[in-house]
């Protein structure tokens, strides 16, 4: 896969250097420093020079770089780089130049464990923390006991979990988090609507429990043409990705997710949905320019979810022309103010009940210009978070925990739909 791994600072100095194959020399780092770090015009995270490809991720004030001379999978290389960043954060919280210099011995230890001859190996954080530790030196007897546990976990069927985990109270928390992406035309037609979702789980369960997790009865995966039966209320998921603990055979047969969970917090599943999206908000816009010196706005917002639910931190960013000098805005709910530095009217609603409607009316005063350019009318952006609502319609039917000791566990399921700059409506 990759032939070399580097970490550079902003000046192009090499902080970490590891060669995995003999097809590259250490001087290849100078090529990256000259061609990428010293070149402000480079924006692509992948640079190919001759037969050598550089994959880099810039985080804080360092560059994390993978180098290869073969036709490696770009997605796999970036997955490894981001996985390395996640592991580093779990050890020393923040990955920057200072933390790399302070923990360079630890980083070399991690690299020796998670990658071998350029191919990723065990990258489970819980397993790595058992035998790569920054704690004080343990006694010889404790080291022997830990070594036996490490051998069992590293070579066993469940390398992501120890068998001796114990909790006084056994609990499992499931969060279904969806990010709604929308682009709506000024006539109200949906041009693009999709959902990026993830199921996060926090498992505080004793022993080695078997968990079974059921989703909607009407669940369609990766629908192609007429292969699947069309249904207006079916939940269609594309691009499903699962944690390595999931038994995929069970999911293919009965749409249930069966697994032995890692201890603590982890991402169980990631998915995407592009059909039958339930839009949480509808926006009607009416923007007119009665004269060259004034623009009038009427923005009508309606919450499309159940009245028993509430949306929190609803924020609308309504664009104004570049030559705006001032705005007078009136709202029935929340607060609205003009932000001249960003040329937007920001309408903040701390809490909005389902099925509730509210309206903003505003007048923007424009400065006279010698050469008047046509206003491009950028779309209105809506940010929000709605608890116990899923735009895709995905629901957790059940969550069962089986353990040989037969203890009782408490299960919690929470849903959250949100948008952060990805929910856009064009202005009419």
d(CA 294, CA 366) in angstroms, rounded, equals 6
- Domain total in the chain: 3
Which CATH number goes with the domain that contains 255?
Answer: 2.60.40.1170
9 vs 234, higher pLDDT: 9
Q: What is the pLDDT averaged over residues 8-29?
A: 90
pLDDT at 226: 44
Whether residue 364 sits in one domain with residue 290 = yes
Whether residue 270 sits in one domain with residue 394 = yes
pLDDT at 149: 53
Q: Which residues contact 330 (CB under 8 A, 6 or more apart)?
A: 336, 360, 361, 362
Q: In terms of residue numbers, what domain contains 316?
A: 281-388
Asked if the structure places residue 90 within a domain, the reply is yes
Confidence band for 141, pLDDT divided at 50, 70 and 90: very low
pLDDT at 106: 87
Nearest to 91 by CA among 62, 131, 63: 131
The Cα angle at residue 235 between residues 187 and 76, in degrees rounded to 5: 95
Whether residue 113 sits in one domain with residue 189 = no
Whether residue 56 sits in one domain with residue 178 = no
Whether residue 365 sits in one domain with residue 410 = no
pLDDT in tens, 238-273: 888 888 888 887 777 777 788 999 988 999 999 998
pTM for the whole thing?
0.66
Q: Which residues contact 121 (CB under 8 A, 6 or more apart)?
A: 113, 114, 115
pLDDT at 252: 72
Confidence band for 310, pLDDT divided at 50, 70 and 90: very high
Alpha carbon separation from 66 to 15, 56, 107, 110 (Å, rounded): 14, 6, 15, 15
Asked if the structure places residue 144 within a domain, the reply is no
Whether residue 290 sits in one domain with residue 253 = no
pLDDT at 138: 37
Q: What is the pLDDT averaged over residues 399-424?
A: 90
Alpha carbon separation from 6 to 57, 68, 98, 337 (Å, rounded): 11, 12, 16, 47
pLDDT at 397: 87
Calculate the average pLDDT of the chain.
Answer: 85
Confidence band for 231, pLDDT divided at 50, 70 and 90: low
pLDDT at 297 over 80: yes
- For residues 60 and 95, the answer to whether their CB atoms sit within 8 Å is yes
Nearest to 412 by CA among 170, 167, 165, 162: 170
Asked if the structure places residue 71 within a domain, the reply is yes
pLDDT at 245: 87
Asked if the structure places residue 212 within a domain, the reply is yes
Secondary structure (3-state) at 280: coil
Asked if the structure places residue 300 within a domain, the reply is yes
Asked if the structure places residue 153 within a domain, the reply is no
């Amino acid at each position: 896969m990759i032939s070399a791994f580097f970490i550079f600072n902003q000046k192009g100095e090499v902080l970490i250097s590891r060669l995995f194959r003999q097809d590259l020399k250490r001087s290849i780092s100078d090529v990256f420093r000259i061609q990428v770090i010293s070149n402000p015009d480079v924006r692509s995270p992948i640079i190919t020079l001759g037969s050598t490809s550089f994959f880099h991720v810039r985080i804080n004030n360092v560059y994390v770089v993978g180098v290869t001379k073969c036709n490696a999978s770009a997605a796999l290389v970036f997955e490894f780089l981001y996985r390395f960043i996640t592991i580093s954060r779990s050890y020393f919280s923040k990955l920057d130049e200072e933390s790399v210099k302070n923990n360079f011995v630890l980083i070399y230890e991690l690299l020796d464990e998670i990658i071998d001859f350029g191919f990723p190996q065990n990258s489970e954080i819980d397993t790595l923390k058992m035998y790569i530790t920054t704690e004080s030196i343990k006694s010889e007897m404790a080291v022997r006991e830990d070594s036996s546990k490490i051998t069992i976990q590293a070579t066993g069927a469940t390398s992501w979990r120890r068998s001796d985990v114990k909790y006084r109270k056994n609990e499992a928390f499931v969060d279904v988090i969806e990010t709604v992406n929308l682009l709506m035309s000024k006539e109200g037609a949906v041009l693009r609507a999709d959902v990026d979702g993830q199921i996060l789980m926090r498992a505080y369960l004793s022993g080695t429990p078997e968990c079974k997790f059921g989703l909607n009865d009407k669940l369609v995966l990766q629908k192609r043409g007429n292969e699947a039966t069309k249904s207006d209320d079916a939940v269609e998921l594309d691009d499903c990705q699962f944690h390595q603990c999931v038994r995929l055979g069970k999911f293919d047969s009965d749409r249930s997710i069966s697994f032995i969970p890692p201890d603590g917090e982890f991402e169980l599943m990631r998915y995407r949905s592009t059909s039958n999206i339930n839009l949480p908000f509808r926006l009607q816009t009416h923007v007119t320019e009665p004269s060259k010196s004034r623009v009038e706005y009427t923005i009508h917002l309606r919450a499309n979810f159940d009245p028993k639910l509430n949306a929190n931190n609803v924020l609308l960013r309504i664009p104004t022309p570049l030559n705006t000098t001032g705005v007078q805005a009136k709202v029935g709910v929340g607060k609205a103010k003009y932000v001249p530095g960003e040329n937007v009217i920001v309408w903040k609603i701390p809490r909005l009940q389902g099925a509730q409607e509210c309206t903003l009316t505003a007048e923007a005063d424009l400065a006279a210009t010698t050469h008047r350019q046509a206003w491009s009318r950028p779309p209105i952006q809506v940010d929000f978070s709605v608890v116990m609502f899923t735009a895709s319609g995905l629901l957790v039917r059940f969550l069962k925990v089986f353990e040989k000791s037969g203890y009782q566990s408490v299960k919690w399921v929470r849903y959250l739909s949100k948008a952060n700059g990805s929910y856009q409506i064009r202005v009419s």
